[in-house]
Structure 1
């Protein structure tokens, strides 16, 4: 193998097999990845913090460790602590903050055989649906450099789409893996809550957040889930029962799929996003599955009120934690206006109100469990819009003036009420009316790249299954990938 010319053709498992066979070294793969990074990152701004010293150490002390031994890797710069490496969380306030020790997840990644060589761009505290912040700027979409890659895992998604790496660490609290996967034309999987045994995110956004990877191939996503779920030691004994990767080698049973094109709240859906779901439905029918149109069985506005209540509350907590880590008062934190207002409003959310919101989450989860007694899978558009410009969600001049005025009064915590939530729901879900549901319920969901519009932009289709049915989703994804391969579809910058 020529690691420089052939590197983009392989997924992560394929690269690892080359290392294990001795056909290529981990050091050669790292150099190939760094060469692509040097070529494409000036255009994309996907990787914002180099970790070359760590990468060289990992190569030097590699050995044979796991399914991804020797594979170049990048990680999202959000709440993932590597000792001595800046963890900005997308914030000017934390751009120079260096944790003293690895988190368990970082330590496990270091011990996995993956060669981590950079951190990727995100939005501040992961709160925006665009990868855009005041410290590093925007991450641009490899399919159209005038557009954003999507958030909040946009740096990771862009790096995978440009084949800088075949797989990248990401996290998802309301669609932050699936949205940029849709915008960047790659596979994005959100596992069921609690499957990752190495990372405790139960206190992040009330349990809405999970970490995983965005990938080129379905099998890489499945193999990574095997690793973080602790399956790799058991696979040899009984792969049919324990392995997500093994499951992808077999087609799923004949599925009953509910196609839902209406957003849970009143959100316009772009025709290309609807076309992506329609094409996915046709593929499923061609594979022998039953698809029928259906409607949601819960109150979408109640859902979003409860979701925003929790986000405001936890944003206030996150900002307070930042101030504590930096030994600053909150007014002195260099954070963005949107974040400061969210935190201010969040201070007005009581513990009782949060518990009431989480009770709504539980109730909607029960409604969805009932829905899944009739349907194996729910199919929707992943997002409601094509990729957007980086400033598309910026507050207007008038909105900025009003926000600063409210903050100056010191009364932001008095604003929290149902009327406020209703006022911001339409803008809050402009892109992502479909994705937060899986975070609220804890069920698995994925964005599958099956459709490119006439202007050359990708549009994902989202599939959701009942909590714990991750294998079924991965089986369906692998079946769709075989029927309509997407690995060869690379953005224009890869062909220049």
Structure 2
């Protein structure tokens, strides 16, 4: 039997510190799980097993995660000597010649990278079904999507391949797969983690990187070792008061929590997603918090979606053009999936003036939204408006390449606000449907205040544990 499969990263690292396990034993066990489960899930699309074993045999840094196996998403985060495709056929030959700053910090913490996780092309959809890597499957129901863009990471962690994995978020891509796969997913404050490297912040200030984890303490401990500005960063989050691992062990006190259920797009919300919110609200009241209902609407809300798309598609143009420059060849429609190419063309058509106006309007919207925290500590809302969808839900119908965009907006309409405003937000698996599918709920905190979110998350994890739940496909 595998003695490590049910342990989170913190517990695995503790075994190494106590000399009850070696890094190589942890790595070999994780490799065996990947080889056994990945043919079913397609969560890992590039392996580095020989290098991982060599690193595990060597002298690892004495960090908080010495010897713990880890996956990087095949998106944004550069790793020297290993392909970084961004899930695109166009980028499949790109091999970075240096590690990004985040990867350097991962390595300094003692982590051992086993490979890259599946992602949709350019990370653009809330599902992981790209043409280059093929569809990734949800371990709870393999006919369903694990979400996206960090769907491969979520499937790998939920199935027990690795205890946690790197993930990215430009419009919900950490929180969406966390909700679909029954995991904890925190999107940190803008600027909390470094974005430096040869790719940098490809979608202006919407993107944040962190991880998908089984436990709250793993997320906190990893953020402790990765957070902080890197050289030349254009923005950074307020300094933390103390280590996040201390926040996990600190009671949150009596918080003022406001529930926002209204869908910004007016789309219907699945009854189980509503049930998850109502159940979470009752639990919060039982824990002593003040809970009421409200709305996150601000003047001009009806135009925010358009401004977000303008900035977001400008990021698509930048990303593809930057990739083309690195590869020394021009992008063509045949190199990309129809949805990606349609977004690229749309972004080109917007022009610089539209981009600058949209950026200014989103900044104005952010300032207005922050006033919602004048008398509230944390907002509670759905992570998703639906359960994990069947594979193929976000396919482009013939002649309608942009159709997945509206579908994605209705699916995860509560997620982009945290990216627009830069606020920290997290999804917690506090509810399961009668059919056994996880249903996440989302909490959004004040700018720079991951501390309150970690305190609350740890309290909820203790009150309604989820780690003992196992999907149909598990290590």
**TM-score bracket for this pair, using the shorter chain length:** over 0.9
For 2:5, what is the secondary structure of its paired residue? helix
Where does residue 23 of structure 2 map in the other structure? Answer: 26
Pairing 1:203–2:201 present: yes
Distance 1:141 1:424, change over 3 A: closer
Kept in 1: contact 2:395–2:404 (CA 8 A): no
Distance 1:388 1:332, change over 3 A: closer
**Mind listing any 5+ residue stretches in structure 2 that lack a counterpart?**
230-239
Where does residue 420 of structure 1 map in the other structure? Answer: none
Where does residue 409 of structure 1 map in the other structure? Answer: none
Question: How big is each residue's C-alpha offset from its partner over 1:395-432, in whole Å with a ceiling of 9 and x where there is no partner?
Answer: 212425xx7xxxxxxxxxxxxxxxxxxx9874341211
Instruction: State how far apart, in whole Å, the 1-side matches of 2:170 and 2:91 are.
Output: 21
Kept in 2: contact 1:168–1:215 (CA 8 A): yes
Distance 1:207 1:334, change over 3 A: same
Pairing 1:296–2:296 present: yes
Where does residue 93 of structure 2 map in the other structure? Answer: 96
Pairing 1:72–2:52 present: no
The CA deviation at 1:55 is 0.8
Of 178-187 and 50-59, more deviation after overlay is shown by 50-59
Where does residue 170 of structure 2 map in the other structure? Answer: 173
Instruction: State how far apart, in whole Å, the 1-side matches of 2:77 and 2:429 are.
Output: 27
Where does residue 411 of structure 1 map in the other structure? Answer: none
Where does residue 443 of structure 2 map in the other structure? Answer: 463
The CA deviation at 1:163 is 1.1
Q: Which has the higher helix share?
A: 1
Of 109-118 and 338-347, more deviation after overlay is shown by 109-118
Kept in 2: contact 1:265–1:300 (CA 8 A): no
The CA deviation at 1:197 is 4.0
The CA deviation at 1:242 is 1.2
Where does residue 248 of structure 1 map in the other structure? Answer: 248
Where does residue 107 of structure 1 map in the other structure? Answer: 104
Distance 1:318 1:197, change over 3 A: closer
Where does residue 384 of structure 1 map in the other structure? Answer: 385
Instruction: State how far apart, in whole Å, the 2-side matches of 1:230 and 1:69 are.
Output: 20
The CA deviation at 1:339 is 0.7
Pairing 1:440–2:440 present: no
Where does residue 363 of structure 1 map in the other structure? Answer: 364
Where does residue 236 of structure 2 map in the other structure? Answer: none
Q: 1:119 aligns with which of 116, 120, 126?
A: 116
For 1:383, what is the secondary structure of its paired residue? coil
Kept in 2: contact 1:173–1:209 (CA 8 A): yes
Where does residue 343 of structure 2 map in the other structure? Answer: 342
The CA deviation at 1:332 is 6.7
Kept in 2: contact 1:19–1:25 (CA 8 A): yes
Q: 1:164 aligns with which of 151, 161, 164?
A: 161
The CA deviation at 1:322 is 1.9
Instruction: State how far apart, in whole Å, the 2-side matches of 1:277 and 1:105 are.
Output: 34
The CA deviation at 1:15 is 0.4
Of 289-298 and 41-50, more deviation after overlay is shown by 289-298
The CA deviation at 1:444 is 0.3
For 2:152, what is the secondary structure of its paired residue? helix
Of 262-271 and 14-23, more deviation after overlay is shown by 262-271
Instruction: State how far apart, in whole Å, the 2-side matches of 1:222 and 1:34 are.
Output: 25
Map of 1:319-330 to 2, 5 A cutoff?
319-330=320-331
Where does residue 17 of structure 1 map in the other structure? Answer: 14
Kept in 2: contact 1:108–1:198 (CA 8 A): no
**TM-score with structure 1 setting the length:** 0.90
Question: How big is each residue's C-alpha offset from its partner over 1:172-217, in whole Å with a ceiling of 9 and x where there is no partner?
Answer: 0000000000000010000001111474787332211010010000
The CA deviation at 1:303 is 1.5
Where does residue 212 of structure 2 map in the other structure? Answer: 214
Map of 1:384-403 to 2, 5 A cutoff?
384-399=385-400
Kept in 1: contact 2:28–2:53 (CA 8 A): no
Where does residue 229 of structure 1 map in the other structure? Answer: 227
Count, aligned residues: 464
For 1:283, what is the secondary structure of its paired residue? helix
The CA deviation at 1:363 is 1.6
Distance 1:368 1:253, change over 3 A: farther
Distance 1:61 1:379, change over 3 A: same
Kept in 1: contact 2:125–2:408 (CA 8 A): no
Pairing 1:308–2:306 present: no
